[in-house]
Amino acid sequence: MKSLAEKCILVNIRFGQWSGRMYDKKISGEIEALHNASNAGKYSKSLIGEEYLKDIQSVVRAARVFLREQTLPWGDNNDRILLSEYYLEFLKQFGQFKSQFDKEVQVFLTKYPELVKKAEHRLKGMYRTSDYPTVIQLRKKFSIEVSCMNISDLEDFRVKINPMEATRLKQRIEEEYAARIAEASQDIWDRIAETVGHMAERLSDPKNVFRDSLVDNVRHLIDLLPKLNFTDDRRIKQVAFNMRSLLVDPAELRNDRTMRSQKAQQARQILEQIGAYLPDKAVA
């Protein structure tokens, strides 16, 4: 059987953005003097209208959602674990975000010189030319890239310390390794509980209104689970199979009370099946 280091890699998406805001020490001092205050805070000046950066920020948010959806947590530095066999697919999908990001950045840079002129009239006495980078300088502040690295193999452990300390250190590393695997696996169970639990809750009361996405979200998660199941857990495979019973036409669910009740019950049964993997969760 392949080790985790052979099956998976760590990925992350690194973003560079210009905030369009700047701390103004002079204005902050003037405000404190006006109120006879000290250490009262910092005045952050809006260099351009925030609405001009919203399209870039929207792409960044969507890319972050994509990263969280397609991968699982690994440690506390925001790296994520991904099955290596899906890496090329991951890069292809990421490429769409990068293309959109670069497009929105270019649109913004084209408008930027005019936005600086508008800022001079808007800010008046608070305007300073030195606050504004050139277009060339500004372009370098925007970036979106995928980073990846191998997972350390516990069998390839080497350190130049005495054997007793080396054994203790390896044990601590193995414990951390196990904790990270447990955290990533828990994320899968939490996703299942959230998606199936939402369906159980919405269908249990005939008065509840629901969108087609109620079923679409279940279908999407079923398709996603093989990519997330990095430990090849047969329990996850079985739950994914059981979830297929929930895939029915949303219109039929709205019009057929018997079917609606039946699917609500099936969703609750799935929640009961995974209850043991959700020790800190309340199962409906």
Give per-residue pLDDT as tens, 218-257.
Answer: 999 999 999 999 999 999 999 999 999 999 999 999 999 9
79 torsion bin: left (phi>0), alpha (psi -120 to 50), beta (else): beta
Residue-level pLDDT at 269? 96
Residue-level pLDDT at 282? 44
Cβ–Cβ under 8 Å, residues 101 and 60: yes
Any idea which of 10-14, 128-132, 166-170 has the lowest mean pLDDT?
166-170
Q: Is the pLDDT of residue 155 over 70?
A: no
Give per-residue pLDDT as tens, 3-54.
Answer: 788 899 999 999 999 999 988 788 777 787 888 778 877 878 889 988 999 9
**Nearest Cα to Cα of residue 211 among 240, 254, 246, 245:** 254
Quote the percentage of the chain above a pLDDT of 90.
Answer: 69
Say how far apart CA 188 and CA 236 lie, in whole Å: 8
This prediction has a pTM of 0.82
Q: Which residue type sits at 54?
A: K
Residue-level pLDDT at 272? 94
What is the chain's mean pLDDT, rounded?
89
Residue-level pLDDT at 161? 52
Q: Is the pLDDT of residue 143 over 70?
A: yes
Quote the percentage of the chain above a pLDDT of 70.
Answer: 90
- Per-domain residue ranges for the chain? 4-150, 163-277
Residue-level pLDDT at 283? 46
Give per-residue pLDDT as tens, 56-105.
Answer: 999 999 999 999 999 999 977 789 999 999 999 999 999 999 999 999 99
